[in-house]
Chains A and B, each alone.
Chain A
Amino acid sequence: EAGVVQSPRYKIIEKKQPVAFWCNPISGHNTLYWYLQNLGQGPELLIRYENEEAVDDSQLPKDRFSAERLKGVDSTLKIQPAELGDSAVYLCASSSLAGDYNEQFFGPGTRLTVL
């Protein structure tokens, strides 16, 4: 079984430029999560999807961040414009049903460097 796939793995951009990250969850997983992980810290949830609906986006900085999950499968996280403080690892995770206390499966992450 293929795991959570993320691309790109690394991205270097200049500040004020836009950037997008892509995630393909494990087949059949209805719940998808985007996390932000700063160096030396644990992941922090940005947004959670149940199928194509964003059910928790309270931690997403909506002035510059946006996300979508069309058709309830793949998801894209976008930052526009990027700031120096956005440099971090962006992790995508998926699980079969959020309400069943199932573990989340994480992708390898996208390491973003903003210059």
Chain B
Amino acid sequence: AQSVAQPEDQVNVAEGNPLTVKCTYSVSGNPYLFWYVQYPNRGLQFLLKYITGDNLVKGSYGFEAEFNKSQTSFHLKKPSALVSDSALYFCAVRDGWGKLQFGAGTQVVVTP
């Protein structure tokens, strides 16, 4: 069975500092990995995905993620965090039939 783990319930960062949200995965076969963000009372918004190719994936709103096969990780990063980045972030892994398995989520708090 495939799964993802987000080891941090919450990440606190000051505005302007680098932001990293961690995700590790467990799959049999090739991993198809996604990051979504959820703002209060809103649905999930797609940020980026890794299917194949370059290990550094660039996405929306200045976010990027680095796929590391040896460490089975797919950490989300942003060089300079904004207060508006405060939200709930979900990592997900997709199976060959389109089913997404989500992590428990990481709350990001960016302070001015």
Contacts and interface: CB of A to CB of B under 8 A. Distances in A.
Interface of A: 4, 31, 40-45, 48, 55-56, 91, 93, 95, 98-99, 101, 103-109
A99 B45 CA distance: 20
Binding site secondary structure of chain A:
mixed
B105 to A, nearest CB: 5
Interface string B77-102: 00000000000001010100111101
Contact of A109 (B43, B45, B104): B43
B41 interface: yes
Contacts of A56: 97, 99
Interface of B: 32, 34, 36, 41-46, 49, 51, 90, 92, 94, 97-100, 102-105
Contact of B42 (A41, A43, A108): A108
Contacts, number: 52
B105 A98 contact: no
Contacts of A41: 104-105
Given A42-B90, A42-B92, A42-B104, A103 B98 contact: no
A43 B44 contact: yes
A98 B51 CA distance: 13
Contacts of A107: 43
Contacts of B45: 106
Contact of B105 (A40, A45, A105, A108): A40
9 contacts: A41-B104, A42-B103, A43-B44, A43-B90, A43-B100, A95-B98, A101-B51, A106-B44, A106-B45
Contacts of B104: 40-42
Contacts of B43: 4, 91, 93, 106-109
Given A31-B98, A55-B97, 20 more contacts: A40-B104, A40-B105, A42-B90, A42-B105, A43-B90, A43-B100, A43-B102, A48-B98, A48-B99, A56-B99, A91-B44, A93-B44, A95-B98, A101-B32, A105-B46, A106-B36, A106-B44, A107-B43, A109-B42, A109-B43
Among B32, B45, B102, B103, max chain A CB count under 10 A is at B102
